[in-house]
Structure 1
Amino acid sequence: MCVFLYFKAFHIIAMVCWFAAIFYLPRLFVYHAMSGDAVSQERFVVMERKLYRGIMTPAMVATWAFGLAMVVNNFTIYKTQGWLHAKLLLVVALTMYHFACGHFRKQLINNPTYKTHTYWRWFNEVPVFILIAVVILVVVKPF
């Protein structure tokens, strides 16, 4: 049981880091799309790359690793938990959002006006809904 609690603690820490980066990267896209000079655009390219590669992706990998470690550690309990199945679907959706951010980051390198700042503002709201749903599923365990 003690190992499970460490898995849970590190899973939560990694998840917080992942969400922090997932909330910040599209905000950088907003600023990148609004920047008008080459120096600012290059600065955003560097910031986006460092955030995506240095924080966001390792945090995603750690979130998945510790989450799966918890499931493996208590598989007989978790295999029948409907709330966990729903949570995993949302985490898969968040992972797809993560990779979409990586794709968009590359598109912005040579084309800062790839999408408008308004688009990025709306795009930035998607993970908020996933976070709300995941927290409710984990805390309330409705099914």
Structure 2
Amino acid sequence: MYLWVKAIHLMAVVTWFAALFYLPRLYVYHAIARDKGENASMNTFKTMERKLYRGIMTPSMIAVIVLGIALLALQPHWLSQGWMHAKLFFVVLLIAYHHVCLIYLKQFAEDRCSRSQVFFRWFNELPVLALVAIMIFAVVKPF
């Protein structure tokens, strides 16, 4: 049972990260289109962003959390280990990042996002840092 839950958990993690990497990239292109006054492109981006967030990103995040809890229920001793505390800290940061993405999604949908494409290029890099940390904690278990 454990290996099945772990396999599905990892599939959900990959899907969630794909969306976490792609949505802010859409924001970059949306900001560029906004700055050029390309209304047709902006409407396309609004649709893409909404569908990605609601149809892929959020269900993936929920699956990651539910399956992660299931893994912890199957291996409760992990909760006493420092590497798991560190990993969960970065997961919480990712959940917060996920919700910040929703704030920007709503701002773009209402045509009131004023952040630049440069901001979103940097914003897009934050999940990479979390991914590196989470993978090191989960695989190497340094403490």
Pair 1:124-2:109 in alignment = no
| Number of the residue aligned with 1:111 | 111
Instruction: Give the conservation status (yes or no) of the 8 Å contact 1:29–1:117.
Output: yes
Aligned match of 1:21: 19
Offset, 1:112: 6.1
1:110, distance to aligned residue in structure 2 (A): 2.4
Q: Percent identity?
A: 49
Alignment partner, residue 57 of structure 2: 56
1:22-63 per-residue CA deviation (whole Å, 9 max, x = no partner) reads: 000000000000003111000000000000000000000000
Q: Secondary structure at the match of 2:80?
A: coil
Q: What displacement does 1:73 show?
A: 1.2
Give 1:47's aligned residue. Answer: 48
3-state DSSP of counterpart to 1:79:
helix
TM-superposed CA distance for 1:111, in Å, is 2.2
Asked whether the 8 Å contact 2:28–2:117 carries over to 1, the reply is: yes
Do the aligned partners of 1:21 and 1:56 also contact (CA within 8 Å) in 2? Answer: yes
Aligned to 1:7: 5
Q: Tell me, in whole angstroms, the C-alpha distance in 2 between the residues paired with 1:27 and 1:74.
A: 36
Residue 131 of structure 1, CA deviation? 0.2
TM-score (norm 1): 0.95
* Segments ≥4 residues shifted beyond 4 Å: none
Whole-angstrom CA distance in 2 between matches of 1:113 and 1:92? 25
User: What aligned pairs does 1:34-113 form with structure 2 within 5 A after superposition?
Assistant: 34-35=32-33, 36-75=37-76, 77-111=77-111
Q: Is 1:134 the equivalent of 2:134?
A: yes
Contact kept? 1:33, 1:112, Cα under 8 Å: no
